[in-house]
Amino acid sequence: MNRLFSLTLSLLLLLASTGCVGRAAPAEPDTQRFSSQTVSSAPPPALPETPEKKAEEEPEQPEEPEVVEEPQVPEAPYVRVVDPSKPMVALTFDDGPHAVYSDMILDVLEEHHAVATFFEVGRNIAACPEVLPRMEELGCEIGSHSNAHRNLSKLKKSSLLKDLDAADAAFTAAVGYAPALVRPPYGAVNKTVKYASERTMITWTVDTLDWKSKDAQTVVDYLQNYGDLDGEIVLMHSIYESTAQAVAVLVPWLQEQGYQLVTVTELMAYYYGELPQPNQFYGYTYFTTHGRTDTPVQLPSGEQAPAAEAAPAQGAGAVPVQGTDAPAAPVQETSAAAAPPAANEQPPVQAVEAEQAVPPAWLFPPAEAAA
Ligand code: NI
């Protein structure tokens, strides 16, 4: 009896145990079902919508081919305008042309509808014959920097004229004329160079020393901290990548400051009120003893738009200056010609008579590179 009870108890325990397992088993699926219901009842995730949005946008892309038709609207030729009453500065570049960096500088000028003056070495021109015509096309001024970058003050007059004539021949071959302006290498002059070269000799007023630092940021910092650049002629060199990089920053910056970027001859005419004359020397003394003129001079015909269209359009005597095929409607060069930039009372005095820059050896035969 006792054994029967024990057997019955064991059987009951076994059944109870099996029942528990049988009940516990569905518990997990229940949990999973609940869990999955929770997910499915949640707000729809954002992710699936993205492809739908993209799918909606894609059909609109066929509009793009229509954009191709836009070139039907001819872009009006740009007409640069110089207002003599507003700040202006002349950027100048010596020692080129350079097969790479001249074009980098011209790219920047073209993008910003700006111009500069390039004093080129005659014997460098043949190596990159396409550069000078592009300068001409963009309205830049081309000047001579002699033929061989010698110290002109050490040449006899006959040798001086021979060198300048050789340079003129190279310029004429490239663009069809000889430049009116000559910048003497190193800024080195004597009385013969100044007053008997049969050319106009002109130097600069602000030396960036770009040849020395060969660092774009140094050049940028120098000009941005210079003070008033109105009426200044800035010296740089078109044979350094660092200078080309600095120009990419400085050109838009100068325009944002309200400066008009003009050629040297434009600066002479519109700021100093004088057209450069042959057998004359325009150096630091000239520029620092002459201020802004009250009577701007018109450039000779051929260097500006027809006078009839030029005259009173801008009220203050603004003068359109680019090309003879300029259309009637002039466009202001500077977007917002603000008040003249904050200025130092006097620009720092700088030595001008001696340009220390030594041209890189690759430009000239070794025998002359040291000159
Ligand atoms: Ni030079």
Cα of 256 vs centre of ligand 1, distance in Å, is: 29
**What residues contact residue 299 under an 8 Å CB cut-off, 6+ apart?**
265, 266, 269, 275, 319, 321
pLDDT in tens, 142-191: 999 999 999 999 999 999 999 999 999 999 999 999 999 999 999 999 99
112-121 as b/e: b if 16+ CB within 10 A: bbbbbbbbbb
d(CA 150, CA 355): 12
- Which tens digits make up the pLDDT trace of 303-318? 543 333 333 334 445 7
- Mean pLDDT (whole number) for 218-228: 98
Query: What spacing in Å lies between the alpha carbon of 314 and ligand 1's midpoint?
Result: 38
- Going from the Cα of 95 to the center of ligand 1, the distance in angstroms, rounded, reads 5
**Higher-scoring residue by pLDDT: 282, 32:** 282
Instruction: At 226, list the tokens.
Output: 């210079």
With beta carbons less than 8 A apart as the criterion, state whether 222 and 367 touch. no
Q: Which residue has the higher pLDDT, 37 or 299?
A: 299
- The rounded Å distance from CA 325 to ligand 1 centre is 34
* Cα–Cα distance for residue pair 263/233, rounded to 1 Å: 9
Q: What percent of the chain has pLDDT over 90?
A: 57
**Is a pLDDT exceeding 50 seen at residue 64?**
yes
Closest CA to 188 of 163, 211, 154: 154
Instruction: Name the band, by pLDDT with cuts 50, 70 and 90, for residue 91.
Output: very high
Burial annotation 249-275 (CB, 10 A radius, 16+ → b, else e): bbbeebbebbbbbbbbbbbbbbbbbbe
* Of 148-152, 265-269, 359-363, minimum mean pLDDT range: 359-363
Tokens of 196: 């008997």
Section 208-234 average pLDDT: 98
- What are the backbone dihedrals phi and psi of residue 142, each rounded to the nearest 5 degrees, phi first? -110, 125
Stronger pLDDT, 188 or 19, i.e. the higher one: 188
Mean pLDDT of 325-340: 33
Q: How far is CA 318 from CA 58, 82, 155, 260, in A?
A: 50, 5, 43, 12
Tell me what the mean pLDDT of segment 119-133 comes to.
97
Q: What is the predicted pLDDT for the residue at 371?
A: 28
Catalytic annotation present for 237: yes
Average pLDDT, the chain: 76
Whether 162 and 152 have beta carbons less than 8 Å apart is answered as no
The mean pLDDT of 244-261, rounded to a whole number, is 98
339 pLDDT more than 60? no
Residue 150 Cα, ligand 1 centroid: separation in angstroms?
9
Mean pLDDT of 228-238: 98
Judge residue 148's burial from the number of C-beta atoms within 10 Å of its C-beta, 0-12 exposed, 13-18 middle, 19 or more buried.
buried
- For every residue of 92-145, DSSP letters joined together read EEES---TTHHHHHHHHHHHTT---EEEE-HHHHTTSTTHHHHHHHTT-EEEE-
CA angle 253, 254, 256 (to 5 degrees): 65
How far apart are the CA of 149 and the centre of ligand 1, in A? 6
- What local confidence, expressed as pLDDT, does residue 77 receive? 79
Catalytic residue among 98, 113, 145, 237: 237
Q: Are strands 206-207 and 319-320 parallel, antiparallel or unpaired?
A: unpaired
228 is catalytic: no
pLDDT > 70 fraction of the chain, expressed in percent and rounded: 62
Higher pLDDT: 67 or 356? It is: 67
Residue 43 has pLDDT above 70, yes or no: no
Parallel, antiparallel or unpaired: strands 260-261 and 319-320: unpaired
Report residues near ion ligand 1: CB below 5 Å: 94-95, 185
Instruction: Tell me what the mean pLDDT of segment 269-275 comes to.
Output: 96
Cα 219 to ligand 1 centre (Å): 17
Retrieve residue 31's tokens: 């949990």
As a whole number of angstroms, the distance between CA 305 and CA 309 comes to 7
For residues 89 and 231, the answer to whether their CB atoms sit within 8 Å is: yes
Q: Is the pLDDT of residue 364 over 80?
A: no
Active-site entry in 94, 103, 163, 210: 94
Q: What is the mean pLDDT of residues 240-249?
A: 98
pLDDT band at 343 (very low <50, low <70, confident <90, very high): very low
Provide mean pLDDT across the span 81-102: 97
What separation in angstroms does the CA of 186 have from each of 113, 151, 178, 282?
A: 30, 7, 21, 15
- Is pLDDT at 291 greater than 80 in this prediction? yes
How far is Cα 27 from Cα 223, in angstroms, rounded to an integer? 80
Q: Which pTM was predicted?
A: 0.66
In this prediction, residue 117 has a pLDDT band, given cuts at 50, 70 and 90, of very high
Q: What is the pLDDT of residue 47?
A: 47
Q: Which residue intervals of the chain are DSSP H helices?
A: 2-24, 27-41, 49-57, 64-67, 101-111, 122-125, 131-137, 157-175, 191-195, 210-213, 216-224, 241-256, 264-270, 284-289, 307-310, 366-369
Q: How confident is the model at residue 231 (pLDDT cuts 50, 70, 90)?
A: very high
Grade residue 92 by pLDDT with cuts at 50, 70 and 90.
very high
* pLDDT average, residue stretch 73-102: 92
User: Cα(347)–Cα(370) distance, rounded to whole angstroms?
Assistant: 32
